Structure 1
Amino acid sequence: MKLATLALALGLASPAFAAAPLSVDFEKTWEFGEEVADTYAAQGVSFTNVLGLSNDADFTYFSSAPSPMGVAFVQLDGVTNTAAYLNVAAGVTGGLSFHFAGIDTATIKAYSGANGSGSLLGTINLGATGADFGTWNKTALYFSGTALSFDLTGTAGVAALDNISAVPEPSSVALLLAGGALLLARRRRG
């Protein structure tokens, strides 16, 4: 019984099951052209050259988005705005989950440093989902290490993002499941 309790306690104490360092759904009314910037600073999250975009009475931008009020969109001018980033002060370990809609292929990269600096930890290439941003897919970018930033430059003008969150580390999930299995086995014997 002591072993099962210890395994369960270790699983529940795992950092992956603590408050996630990243969970952003863009659910607010964004003014046209309004930057997301430090809107989520209280969560330790900041954006560079990323706009919030909301549906309004004049135009429905993303009618079938997972969170219907707002989404994120990168619009770079190529002169003053040449790169776009998502920075997470506490870092994200293991993976980043998100929904996307795109009219063309797009790329997101994970880096060990802020603003796309440090080591490249992982890359995901996203396929086009439709010409009208009407189809949304959920996916995850998995990587080794802790990412402090995600380069969103490769989504500029062609993909919208919504419901961005950290993915729990597989090892932590396995530890929690092992603890639960030990508890069940112990209860069945006793």
Structure 2
Amino acid sequence: MKLATLALALGLSAPAFASTTFTVDFEKSWDYGQMVDASYAASGVTFTNVMGLSNGDGLGSLPDGAYYAGAPSPQGVGFVQLDGVVNTAAYMNVAGGVEGGLRFFYSSPSDVSFAISAYSGLNGTGTLLGTINLTANSADYTTWTQAVLTFGGVAQSFDLTGAANVVGLDNISAVPEPSSVAMLLAGATLLLARRRRG
């Protein structure tokens, strides 16, 4: 965790908050229909019913190679794929927990609003901590917008079901809790002031 590393380098104790740091960028060449599943397990993140899609899958009316143009990570994106019969829900699980917020980019041509929700337990269980409602921003998945889902508490899962079949996702990352960042900066300022006096 970058904040903890900075704190230790400055001689401070690490901030006391449970938050796994990660960035899921979907940057690989995905076979069409390949599920993301445990591709980011080393970072503490797993998915249920989320496909990896490579730019150039030839979907839609755009030329091959241009379907996800403009995505923050140009090689690949994530796409929630539900069939409504067997696969009826989609999740991103972070077993180590995320505190404060989740940052991501999305693209959607759907004229229906959709939601992503944070829960205290895995697979959308436990307490609902927060929800973000989003609307269409693109005619053809070529416009990408950054969004931040903020919430109180520690989230172990994010319900992506509401984004099914209409939303591309990219560069998903944890957002540090603002109070923890403020505490770390205040501690660093005090330490630097002491060193200057001494």
TM-score by length of 1: 0.87
Q: Secondary structure at the match of 1:115?
A: helix
Q: Name the counterpart of 1:100.
A: 106
Q: Name the counterpart of 1:90.
A: 96
Q: What aligned pairs does 1:1-190 form with structure 2 within 5 A after superposition?
A: 9-10=11-12, 13-14=14-15, 20-56=20-56, 58=58, 59=64, 60-104=66-110, 105-183=113-191, 185-186=193-194
Gaps of 5+ in 2: 1-6, 59-63
Q: CA deviation at 1:15?
A: 5.3
CA contact (8 A) 1:35 1:49 kept: yes
* Residues 182/27 of structure 1: CA separation in 2 closer, same or farther (3 Å cut): same
Aligned residue type for 1:13: A
- In the alignment, the residues of structure 2 paired with residue 188 and residue 95 of structure 1 have an alpha-carbon distance, to the nearest angstrom, of 35
- In the alignment, the residues of structure 2 paired with residue 43 and residue 84 of structure 1 have an alpha-carbon distance, to the nearest angstrom, of 19
After alignment, is 117-126 or 51-60 more displaced? 51-60
Aligned residue type for 2:49: N
CA contact (8 A) 1:22 1:88 kept: no
After TM superposition, what 4+ stretches of structure 1 lie above 3 angstroms from structure 2? 18-21, 183-190
Q: Secondary structure at the match of 1:13?
A: coil
Aligned residue type for 1:52: G
Q: CA deviation at 1:20?
A: 4.0
- In the alignment, the residues of structure 1 paired with residue 137 and residue 57 of structure 2 have an alpha-carbon distance, to the nearest angstrom, of 25
Q: CA deviation at 1:19?
A: 8.6
- In the alignment, the residues of structure 2 paired with residue 150 and residue 22 of structure 1 have an alpha-carbon distance, to the nearest angstrom, of 14
- In the alignment, the residues of structure 2 paired with residue 72 and residue 101 of structure 1 have an alpha-carbon distance, to the nearest angstrom, of 10
Q: CA RMSD in A?
A: 2.3
Q: Name the counterpart of 2:3.
A: none
CA contact (8 A) 2:23 2:171 kept: yes
Gaps of 5+ in 1: none
Q: Secondary structure at the match of 2:32?
A: coil
Flag the structure with higher helix content: 1
Q: How many residues align?
A: 183
Q: Secondary structure at the match of 1:144?
A: strand
Q: Name the counterpart of 2:4.
A: none
- In the alignment, the residues of structure 2 paired with residue 62 and residue 139 of structure 1 have an alpha-carbon distance, to the nearest angstrom, of 18
- In the alignment, the residues of structure 1 paired with residue 138 and residue 70 of structure 2 have an alpha-carbon distance, to the nearest angstrom, of 12
TM-score by length of 2: 0.83
CA contact (8 A) 1:21 1:88 kept: no
- Tell me which of the two structures has the higher relative contact order, counting C-alpha pairs closer than 8 angstroms and 6 or more residues apart: 1
